[in-house]
Amino acid sequence: MSFQNIYFKRATATSRACYVCYKPTATCLATTNAVDFIYACDAHLSDPGFATEIVDPNAPKEAVVSKEEIARVKAEWEAKEEARKKKDNKGKAPSGDKATSHHRHRPSVPGSLPSTPAASSSGTTPTHKRYSLHRDFYAMRQAEHRRRRQAKQMQELAPRLPGAPRGSPIG
């Protein structure tokens, strides 16, 4: 009952010690069915002596947003802002400053764009990076799992074995 040498990079809520250098890290490598997991810092994930990233050639490339797309989205956003400001100006009471003080707008941050339906409809869900451990680290993980499994079997088998004789020998 061994596991494959394919680990997925996951982020965890709590930090634990890195398997190699014992520095706190929130990055965990786990097998598909979580039979084995190992905490490793990002420095060791980039080290080919510890693990190598498995690159899927059929995986879709990350979409690079062109400057035309950015300009189009920015123009749409500015048009929506202008429409909203005109709508607010029509609904504003001309009676005084009190009405305007309640309807102050946040200053818009330049460069921040709201999410667009085109960007969210791309349909690709983010996948976790896949890694393969170096053969020595993988062998150590398998040996540790084998040792745990054997210890568990011994704990289950020990009550069924006969006990040693007690008392003084007859002689």
pLDDT value at 119 more than 50: no
Q: What percent of the chain has pLDDT over 70?
A: 75
Task: Note whether residue 30 is domain-resident.
Answer: yes
Structure tokens at 171: 């002689």
- Average model confidence (pLDDT) across the chain: 80
Give the span between the Cα atoms of 135 and 139, in whole angstroms. 6
Average pLDDT for residues 142-162, to the nearest whole number? Answer: 91
Q: What is the pLDDT of residue 134?
A: 93
Strand, coil or helix: 71: helix
Task: Note whether residue 165 is domain-resident.
Answer: no
Average pLDDT for residues 79-99, to the nearest whole number? Answer: 74
On whether both 52 and 79 belong to a single domain, the answer is: no
The HSE-up count of residue 45 (CA atoms within 13 Å, CB side) is: 21
On whether both 114 and 139 belong to a single domain, the answer is: no
pLDDT digit string, tens, across residues 27-78: 999 998 888 999 999 999 999 899 999 887 776 666 667 788 888 888 998 9
Q: Which helix (H) or strand (E) holds 46?
A: none
Q: What is the pLDDT of residue 61?
A: 66
Q: Where are the alpha helices (DSSP H) in the chain?
A: 42-45, 67-91, 97-102, 117-120, 135-157
More confident residue, 84 or 60: 84
Phi first, then psi: give them for residue 130, nearest 5 degrees: -105, 140
Q: What is the pLDDT of residue 60?
A: 62
Note down the domain range covering 15: 7-58+127-157
pTM, full prediction: 0.55
Task: Note whether residue 166 is domain-resident.
Answer: no
Q: Which residues pair with 52 in a beta bridge?
A: 132
Task: Note whether residue 162 is domain-resident.
Answer: no
On whether both 74 and 111 belong to a single domain, the answer is: yes
Average pLDDT for residues 79-92, to the nearest whole number? Answer: 85
On whether both 131 and 116 belong to a single domain, the answer is: no
Counting the structural domains of the chain, the total is: 2
On whether both 116 and 131 belong to a single domain, the answer is: no
Task: Note whether residue 1 is domain-resident.
Answer: no
On whether both 49 and 133 belong to a single domain, the answer is: yes
Q: What is the pLDDT of residue 120?
A: 45
Q: What is the pLDDT of residue 121?
A: 44
On whether both 72 and 99 belong to a single domain, the answer is: yes
Identity of the residue numbered 67: K
